């Protein structure tokens, strides 16, 4: 538990530190010029990147608070450890491969290799949806075995943590869907598509790290 909270704390401090550095380092008299040329940078608009990192900082705070509540609640006598479905290992593998494929796709976008974008995005989407569906199947397995959300606090936290993580993934799938549609239909310029893919890749890597923290915590408690 302490390791999980420390890991999330490191992520949060890193994100907030980067945001603070960007705020301090940008002089007021050059802000307008930066805004005009930001779309030429490696990650597209700086404002989009800052917005994403701000979102990740908020999400990190959210999960850190929930894990703190988890730590306090498990100390009470009615806590009965949950037996996690073995399917979670396969789900974790799918999310890991999805993150790797997204990185491969991101590298193709940076290199200007448009031929790799469509298959990379589609494979990432299939694997990510497979992860979410796998989580749903895992919930069904728990319910079929009598481990309902109302059975004990450990069950409630399991459903809440995995559900909250799945919701954040589905939110990312919306942006992924827009980027994929633009690539498939050949819409948008290369810089805009590259920016969307790079930002999505950051989000996927982040959600993988969060899931690894949550999964490790669930297994250990």
pLDDT at 21: 54
- Predicted confidence (pLDDT) at residue 63 exceeds the cutoff of 80: yes
Residue pair 32/4 in contact (Cβ under 8 Å)? The answer is no
Domain ranges of the chain: 2-220
User: Which superfamily, per CATH, for 2-220?
Assistant: Cytochrome c oxidase, subunit III, four-helix bundle (1.20.120.80)
Distance, in Å, from the CA atom of 93 to the CA atom of 191, rounded to the nearest integer, reads 31
Q: What is the pLDDT of residues 91-136, one digit of tens each?
A: 999 999 999 999 999 999 988 888 889 999 999 999 999 999 999 9
Q: What is the pLDDT of residues 180-216, one digit of tens each?
A: 998 988 877 778 888 889 999 999 999 998 999 899 8
pLDDT band at 172 (very low <50, low <70, confident <90, very high): very high
- Between 74 and 98, the more confident residue is 98
Distance, in Å, from the CA atom of 209 to the CA atom of 221, rounded to the nearest integer, reads 19
Residue pair 6/68 in contact (Cβ under 8 Å)? The answer is no
> What contacts 34, CB < 8 A, 6 or more positions away?
26, 46
């Amino acid at each position: 538990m302490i390791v999980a909270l420390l890991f999330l704390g490191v992520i949060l401090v890193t994100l907030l530190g980067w945001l603070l550095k960007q705020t301090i380092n940008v002089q007021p008299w050059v802000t307008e010029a930066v805004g005009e040329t930001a779309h030429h940078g490696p990650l597209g608009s700086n404002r989009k990147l800052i917005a994403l990192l701000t979102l990740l900082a908020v999400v990190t705070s959210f999960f850190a608070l929930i894990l703190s509540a988890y730590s306090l609640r498990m100390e009470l006598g009615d806590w009965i450890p949950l037996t996690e479905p073995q399917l979670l290992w396969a789900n974790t593998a799918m999310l890991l491969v999805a993150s790797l494929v997204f990185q491969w796709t991101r590298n193709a976008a940076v290199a200007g290799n448009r031929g790799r974008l469509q298959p990379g995005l589609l494979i990432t989407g299939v694997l990510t949806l497979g992860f979410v569906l796998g989580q749903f199947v895992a919930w069904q397995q728990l319910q079929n075995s009598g481990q309902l959300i109302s059975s004990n606090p450990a069950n409630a936290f399991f459903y809440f943590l995995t559900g909250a993580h799945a919701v954040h993934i589905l939110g990312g799938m919306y942006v992924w869907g827009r980027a994929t549609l633009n690539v498939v239909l050949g819409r948008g310029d290369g810089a805009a598509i590259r920016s969307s893919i790079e930002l999505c890749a950051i989000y996927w890597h982040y959600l993988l790290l969060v899931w690894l923290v949550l999964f490790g915590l669930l297994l250990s408690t």
